[in-house]
Amino acid sequence: MNGRPLSRDQRVGRVLLGFGLGGGGLSLLGALLAGLGRQRGLEPLASAGTLLLAALPLLFAGMMVLAVRRMDEYGRQLQTRAAGVAFLAVMVLSASLIALEPALHFRTPSWVIYVTGMLVWGLSAAVIARRDP
């Protein structure tokens, strides 16, 4: 990279890109293993995929700890603020669904809440980083 040190935004971007690609790759692998295992009747393969998907929150937590350790103070503040927004969004979504599910007779899959939290976290991190140079 021309021997120049990376800027703060470039370092944070690399950390977040690695986090997103790693987590996305693990999610895809788990879904593929579970789907193929169920489709072909290979219970060990389906179980491995399900186990990987069930372990994703722990894997994401571990990856996030590693990522935050490599970030500077700006990156840490950005992630803290983004996590706060995502937590609030997931709590509002969860409370709304808890109230609406019995009244409207539907059940929301658990993955919807998980995916919503991850998407809001990523989007809020991007917006905060773009807004606060």
Summarised one tens digit per residue, pLDDT across range 33-74 is: 988 888 988 888 889 888 888 888 888 788 778 777 877 888
**14: Cα separation from own chain's centroid:** 16
Domain boundaries, the chain: 7-71, 73-133
pLDDT of residue 12: 67
Average pLDDT, the chain: 83
From the number of C-beta atoms within 10 Å of its C-beta (0-12, 13-18, 19+), residue 126 rates as middle
Two structure tokens written together for 92:
């509002």
Rounded average pLDDT over 10-35: 82
Q: ∠ CA 68-53-111 to the nearest 5 degrees?
A: 90
- The Cα 42–Cα 50 span in angstroms is 12
pLDDT at residue 110, as a whole number = 80
**Which pLDDT belongs to residue 111?**
78
Q: What is the pLDDT of residue 92?
A: 92
CA dihedral 111, 114, 118, 124 (to 10 degrees): 120
